[in-house]
């Protein structure tokens, strides 16, 4: 039997994804690169699709590049296409700042629909490597989810060379983002230097192995998270969490309960160090003060503290 062509392969992946999440309409984040361009073409053939093009304003003539991507989306059968112009800040460095601005713009423009993203198996492998190198814990090593509402990633089982081949099959010339060749960015060096070296040393198949690792870790993480949600609900009677009962939980569950409780209370940008600092209020209690965490409340800092046998949250003006 002949192997399906790249475009057929993409459409089958997207059709499978559509059956899993049952979406009647969706948006696609389109940059004009090979991954998002191939995704847009295949998605528009499966469901009514609106393209969302984010203009970061970081390169000369970025508005013209965004306008061209919009026109291409309409040519590929999208029912609508919108350019979202953003201002990229500086928090967390250029990569993180651009990502934050992009996701905020997509979220604002999607009008309640899901947004498909062009992340491939190669991106998943890079994510796992970053998590391993930074010691970010199993949540990071678990990688990106195929469906993390409202974000859908139907191409996580597809290599980048398949999306390039699909564009060639369609006669499309993808836009080449110069940032994808800029060695100042960590992901670029992982893609161009680290992964090829690992493939050479280990005899190939590394990207696929990293993606399988992510899927396996994600299964375990999902199970622990479900148990932690149940435990957290049982410990949350009254204000805060019962310190003694929480301390009695195994560490892996206890820290997940703490994380979920902090997020529900308005924390943001949590780090493993912060979560373990709050955990120390239970396991190494010496009367220490509160632990500061990032807050969604403008003009305030959020703290977790131990008071009268319970973990509680309180806010102070900056």
For position 205, which CATH number holds?
Answer: 3.40.50.620
Question: Residue 8: what pLDDT?
Answer: 93
Q: Are residues 268 and 148 in the same domain?
A: no
Residue 261 forms part of a structural domain: yes
Q: Are residues 205 and 242 in the same domain?
A: no
d(CA 302, CA 291): 8
**pTM metric for this prediction:** 0.88
Q: By CB neighbour count within 10 A (0-12 exposed, 13-18 middle, 19+ buried), where does 22 fall?
A: exposed
* Domain span at 276: 238-317
Q: Is the pLDDT of residue 2 over 70?
A: no
Q: Are residues 204 and 246 in the same domain?
A: no
Structure token digits, residue 5? 């062509």
Q: At a CB cut-off of 8 Å and minimum separation 6, what does 3 contact?
A: none
How is 104-149 classified by DSSP, letter by letter?
HHHHHHSTT-EEE----HHHHHHHHHHHHHHT--HHHHT---SEET
Pick the range with the lowest mean pLDDT from 49-58, 211-220, 227-236, 293-302.
Answer: 293-302
Residue 214 forms part of a structural domain: no
Q: Are residues 266 and 138 in the same domain?
A: no
DSSP-based three-state secondary structure for 154: coil
Under DSSP, the state recorded for 61 is: T
Q: Judge whether 231 is annotated as a binding position.
A: no
Other beta carbons within 10 angstroms of residue 179's beta carbon come to: 16
Question: Residue 96: what pLDDT?
Answer: 82
Please say which residue of 209, 225, 260 terminates a domain. 209
Percent above pLDDT 90 for the chain: 77
Q: Are residues 108 and 174 in the same domain?
A: yes
pLDDT digits (tens, 9 = 90+) for 290-304: 999 988 888 889 999
Residue 25 forms part of a structural domain: yes
Q: Judge whether 136 is annotated as a binding position.
A: no
Residue 227 forms part of a structural domain: no
Q: Judge whether 92 is annotated as a binding position.
A: no
Structure token digits, residue 21? 């999440």
d(CA 39, CA 222): 27
- What pairing do the DSSP bridges indicate for beta strands 147-148 and 241-242? unpaired
Please say which residue of 209, 226, 256 terminates a domain. 209
Q: Are residues 58 and 129 in the same domain?
A: yes
Q: Judge whether 62 is annotated as a binding position.
A: no
Q: At a CB cut-off of 8 Å and minimum separation 6, what does 302 contact?
A: 265, 266, 267, 292, 293, 294, 295, 313, 314, 315
Q: Judge whether 36 is annotated as a binding position.
A: yes
Q: Are residues 156 and 57 in the same domain?
A: yes
Residue 115 forms part of a structural domain: yes
Residue 133 forms part of a structural domain: yes
Q: Is the pLDDT of residue 24 over 90?
A: no
Q: Are residues 165 and 291 in the same domain?
A: no
d(CA 142, CA 69): 32
Q: Is the pLDDT of residue 175 over 60?
A: yes
Question: Residue 92: what pLDDT?
Answer: 73
Average pLDDT over residues 81-106: 89
Q: Is the pLDDT of residue 10 over 60?
A: yes
d(CA 252, CA 104): 31
Structure token digits, residue 59? 């390169």
Q: Are residues 13 and 50 in the same domain?
A: yes
Q: Judge whether 140 is annotated as a binding position.
A: no
Question: Residue 304: what pLDDT?
Answer: 97
Q: Is the pLDDT of residue 197 over 90?
A: yes
Average pLDDT over residues 254-276: 93
Structure token digits, residue 270? 């949590």
Residue 293 forms part of a structural domain: yes
Q: Are residues 202 and 258 in the same domain?
A: no
- What pairing do the DSSP bridges indicate for beta strands 291-293 and 300-307? antiparallel
- Asked, as a colleague might, if the bond just before 150 is cis with ω within 30 of 0, I would say yes
DSSP-based three-state secondary structure for 174: coil
DSSP-based three-state secondary structure for 301: strand
Structure token digits, residue 25? 């309409």
d(CA 293, CA 263): 10
Percent above pLDDT 70 for the chain: 99
Give the model's confidence band at 210: pLDDT under 50 very low, under 70 low, under 90 confident, else very high: very high
Q: Are residues 196 and 69 in the same domain?
A: yes
CATH number reported for the structural domain that contains residue 309 in this entry:
3.30.465
Q: At a CB cut-off of 8 Å and minimum separation 6, what does 112 contact?
A: none
Nearest Cα residue to 13 out of 124, 116, 212, 158: 158
Q: Is the pLDDT of residue 1 over 60?
A: no
Residue 225 forms part of a structural domain: no
Number of domains composing the chain: 2
Q: Are residues 130 and 269 in the same domain?
A: no
């Amino acid at each position: 039997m002949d192997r399906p062509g790249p475009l057929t392969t993409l459409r089958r992946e997207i059709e499978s994804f559509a059956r899993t999440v049952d979406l009647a309409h969706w948006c696609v984040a389109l940059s004009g690169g090979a991954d998002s361009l191939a995704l847009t073409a295949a998605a528009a053939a499966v469901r009514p699709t609106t393209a969302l093009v984010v203009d970061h304003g970081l390169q000369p003539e970025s508005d013209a590049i965004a306008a061209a991507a919009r026109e291409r989306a309409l040519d590929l059968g999208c029912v609508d296409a919108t350019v979202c112009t953003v201002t990229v800040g500086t928090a967390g460095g250029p990569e993180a700042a651009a990502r934050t601005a992009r996701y905020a713009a997509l979220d604002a423009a999607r009008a309640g629909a899901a947004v498909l993203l062009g992340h491939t198996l190669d991106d998943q492998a890079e994510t796992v490597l970053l998590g391993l190198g930074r010691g970010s814990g199993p949540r990071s090593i678990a990688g990106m989810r195929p469906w993390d509402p409202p974000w859908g990633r139907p191409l996580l089982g597809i290599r980048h060379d398949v999306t390039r081949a699909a564009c060639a099959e369609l006669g499309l010339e993808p836009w080449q983002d110069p940032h994808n060749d800029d060695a100042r960015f960590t992901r670029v060096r992982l893609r161009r230097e680290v992964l090829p070296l690992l493939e050479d040393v280990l005899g190939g198949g590394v990207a696929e192995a990293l993606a399988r690792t992510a899927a396996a870790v994600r299964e375990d993480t999902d199970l622990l998270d479900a148990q932690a949600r149940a435990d957290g609900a049982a410990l949350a009677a009254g204000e805060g969490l019962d310190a003694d009962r929480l301390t009695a939980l195994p560490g892996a569950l206890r820290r997940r309960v703490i994380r979920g409780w902090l997020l529900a209370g308005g924390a943001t940008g949590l780090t493993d160090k912060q979560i373990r600092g709050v955990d120390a209020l239970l396991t190494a209690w010496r009367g220490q003060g509160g632990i500061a965490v990032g807050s969604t409340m403008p003009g305030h800092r959020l703290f977790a503290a131990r008071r009268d046998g319970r973990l509680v949250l309180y806010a102070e003006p900056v």
